[in-house]
Amino acid sequence: MEQTSPTYRALTIAGSDSGAGAGIQADLKTFAALGVYGLSALTAITAQNTQGVRAVLELPSTLITAQIDAVLEDIGADAAKTGMLSSSAVIEAVAECVQRWQLRLVVDPVMRAKGGDPLLAEEAVETLRTRLLPLAEVITPNLPEAEVLTGSRIETLDEMKEAARVIHAQGPQHVVIKGGHRVEEPVDIYFDGEQIVELRAERIDTPHTHGTGCTFSAAIAALIARGRPVGTAIAGAKQYITGAIQHAPGIGHGHGPVEHFWMYTEQGTPLPTQEQHWSPWFNRAKEQLHGTDTH
Ligand SMILES: Nc1ncnc2c1ncn2[C@@H]1O[C@H](COP(=O)(O)OP(=O)(O)OP(=O)(O)O)[C@@H](O)[C@H]1O
Ligand SMILES: Cc1ncc(COP(=O)(O)O)c(N)n1
């Protein structure tokens, strides 16, 4: 088959969310929505829904390394992102792979789920800081994560800007402090080592923000994989996550997921109702079916 455009590839190294709003599932949907072929290396399996995390199984580090090596030896990745890494052992294994494969890396330093359940062991914060932060091209802490990484309370925009500088000094080339947890507007602070930029958006009044951090960091990785400059990738990801929250389908009884394919919907109509988009191949399927005994 004739190839019309390059196939961009991005790898997510993260945990599975059975509710599919966050984690590896959110990342793969984001990659697909942004036209990037998504690869995945699972770090942990969680039994989770929109209301909370019920159980967690961390996978052996050797299996995590084996997944990364398997996909990179064969397919390769133009960019990668990390999500839930759960322990020092996992972080060590992932850092070793990132170095060996020279990956362009977006780190979402996931520490807790939206409902407060821990997703990273406390003992692992130091390993995250010393082993992974220096390898990160971009890091995207939310406010509580930035507080842990800086050891300071962060409330005001000035404190967010100071935190971005402190975290930048720990190794990442680009720092985005996410403001989703602010009571006021969800302003994100972006520092590239020289300039501070405020990324502004209106607060959307909704409980459905499960997986916003995963989706945001996956969008940055996807846009980097597509060859966009890092600053453009970050600003683009902010627009993308804002639209995804705006079009959240409103499912589940807690913090519901966002709509990853929002820009392909018409006025927010969910995709499955738009059968005209798939009518060419679906009509072929119906023709085949009508050619047999089963209707
Ligand atoms: N209610 C909202 N309205 C508009 N933007 C939001 C809202 N909540 C979060 N955001 C944006 O979504 C992105 C993710 O931010 P957030 O602070 O929620 O990350 P997070 O806490 O890591 O997410 P999660 O842990 O739920 O995956 C940021 O760009 C943030 O500004
Ligand atoms: C497997 C996994 N990874 C990351 C998150 C964080 O996302 P959120 O804070 O929206 O719950 C999560 N809940 N589960």
Q: What is the distance between the alpha carbons of residues 111 and 124, in angstroms, rounded to a whole number?
A: 10
Q: Which ligand is nearest to the CA of 243?
A: 1
Name 240's Cβ contacts closer than 8 Å, sequence gap at least 6.
30, 33, 34, 215, 216, 219, 263
Tokens at 148, concatenated: 């842990």
Ligand 1 proximity of 140 Cβ (cutoff 6 Å): no
Q: Which atom of ligand 1 is nearest to 211's Cα?
A: 27
Ligand 1 proximity of 241 Cβ (cutoff 6 Å): yes
Q: Is the Cβ–Cβ distance between 18 and 47 less than 8 Å?
A: yes
Pocket of ligand 2 (CB under 6 A): 14-15, 17, 22-23, 46, 48, 83-84, 110, 113-114, 119, 210-211, 213-214
Which is catalytic among the residues 209, 215, 236, 242?
A: 209
Is 214 assigned a catalytic role? Answer: yes
ipTM reported for the complex, 2 dp: 0.96
| Test site for ligand 1: of 216, 239, 259, most ligand atoms within 8 A of the Cβ | 216
User: Would you put residue 211 in left (φ > 0), alpha (ψ -120 to 50) or beta?
Assistant: left
Is 178 assigned a catalytic role? Answer: yes
Give me ligand 1 centre to Cα 31, in Å. 18
Q: Which ligand is nearest to the CA of 207?
A: 1
The DSSP symbol for 86 reads B
SS3 state of residue 164: helix
Which is catalytic among the residues 211, 236, 243, 256?
A: 211
The per-residue pLDDT string of the chain (295 residues; one tens digit each, 9 = 90 and over) reads 555 678 999 999 999 999 999 999 999 999 999 999 999 999 999 999 999 999 999 999 999 999 999 999 999 999 999 999 999 999 999 999 999 999 999 999 999 988 888 999 999 999 999 999 999 999 999 999 999 999 999 999 999 999 999 999 999 999 999 999 887 889 999 999 999 999 999 899 999 999 999 999 999 999 999 999 999 999 999 999 999 999 999 999 999 999 999 988 766 666 666 666 777 787 888 888 887 545 4
pTM, full prediction: 0.94
How many Å separate Cα 169 from the centre of its chain?
A: 23
Q: What is the distance between the alpha carbons of residues 11 and 71, in angstroms, rounded to a whole number?
A: 9
Which is catalytic among the residues 19, 83, 213, 243?
A: 213
Concatenating the DSSP letter of every residue in 14-83 gives: EEEETTSSSHHHHHHHHHHHTT-EEEEEEEEEEEE-SS-EEEEEEPPHHHHHHHHHHHHHHT--SEEEE-
Is 21 assigned a catalytic role? Answer: no
Give me ligand 1 centre to Cα 209, in Å. 7
- Show the DSSP H helices in the chain as ranges: 23-33, 61-74, 88-101, 125-127, 143-150, 157-168, 212-225, 230-246, 279-290
Beta-sheet strand order (sheet of 196-199) = 53-58, 37-48, 9-17, 79-82, 105-107, 138-139, 174-177, 188-191, 196-199
The DSSP symbol for 160 reads H
Is 209 assigned a catalytic role? Answer: yes
Q: What is the distance between the alpha carbons of residues 85 and 42, in angstroms, rounded to a whole number?
A: 9
Q: What is the distance between the alpha carbons of residues 79 and 10, in angstroms, rounded to a whole number?
A: 5
Collect contacts of 184-188 with beta carbons under 8 A, ≥24 apart: 187/157, 187/160, 188/238
Ligand 1 proximity of 247 Cβ (cutoff 6 Å): no
- Nearest CA residue ID for atom 6, ligand 2: 113
17 closest CA partner among 84, 64, 80: 84
